[in-house]
Amino acid sequence: MAFIYGECRRGIERNQIRPGNGINSLPLILIKSSLPNLLFDIAQVALDHSFRLHNSGPVLYKFLEETAADCMTRSVKTVSRDVTMRALMALFERDDFNAYPVVEGAHPVGLVSKLDFLKCFAFTPTQLVPHYDELMSKVVADVMMPAFIYVGAATKLTRVLQLMVEHRVRSIPVIDQEKLIGIVSREDVMRALKRSTRHQRTN
């Protein structure tokens, strides 16, 4: 996966990619860049600088200044690697979340989504269908994604949104000093947009 200041994490291996001090204090991680992404970042910085010079930002200026820490949900519901599929299904039904961070102690080691759960039941024509109870006895560690997208607290919300759109994910964990401190969902971004443009919408 390719990001400028979003990050790919292999939590199960504890292979940490630490955020650095990049443009506008954003984590500047260049794992594998593509020209469109690089141009996007350059254009964003140029626009931000232009807005500051004119001292009369556009309607979306406040939104451009928002960070992951400004809008993330801080009380994050998580699961452990030994949670069974039966228990996971009950959690999805109760909370109506699309995914849960998987933690070991205070450290995130993966992400498990509804799609990961459903993959247990995606059988091929030549596959022997296992017993239902056998499938439901599998644990999160069997199906979770040990490599997942995450951001730092200082990551601009526009970058978070770009990652959501590019990779079609509904939520992105926020990690600081190897600990899970929050999660940003699509709904969080929408609330931030509404809050940032409230003054304009009331005029």
Q: Which two tokens stand for residue 162?
A: 């770009």
Bridge partners of 150, per DSSP, are: 7
Q: Which residues contact 89 (CB under 8 A, 6 or more apart)?
A: 117, 136
pLDDT at site 44:
57
Q: Domains of the chain (ranges plus CATH)?
A: 7-202 (3.10.580.10)
Contact by Cβ (8 Å): 163, 3: yes
Q: Say which residues have a Cβ less than 8 Å from residue 96's Cβ, sequence separation at least 6.
A: none
* Alpha-carbon gap, residue 2 to 161, rounded angstroms: 15
Q: In a 10 Å sphere around its CB, with 0-12 CB exposed, 13-18 middle and 19+ buried, how is residue 183 labelled?
A: buried
pLDDT of residue 35: 47
Q: Determine the pLDDT at residue 96.
A: 85
C-alpha 38/C-alpha 58 separation (Å) is 24
pLDDT for res 36: 52
- From start to end of 32-177, where are the E strands? 99-104, 107-113, 147-150, 171-176
26 and 170 in contact (C-beta within 8 Å)?
Answer: no
- d(C-alpha 69, C-alpha 62), whole Å: 14
For 65, the 3-state DSSP assignment is helix
pLDDT in 10s for each residue of the chain, 203 residues: 333 345 554 443 333 333 433 333 333 333 333 445 554 554 555 455 444 444 445 667 888 999 999 999 999 999 999 999 999 999 999 998 999 999 998 899 999 999 999 998 888 777 778 888 989 999 999 999 999 999 999 999 999 999 999 999 999 999 999 999 999 999 999 999 988 887 665 55
Which of 68, 67, 65 has its CA nearest to residue 184?
A: 68
Predicted TM-score (pTM) of the model is 0.68
CA-angle at 179, arms to 174 and 183, nearest 5°: 25
Give the model's pLDDT for residue 40: 55
The whole-number pLDDT of residue 69 equals: 96
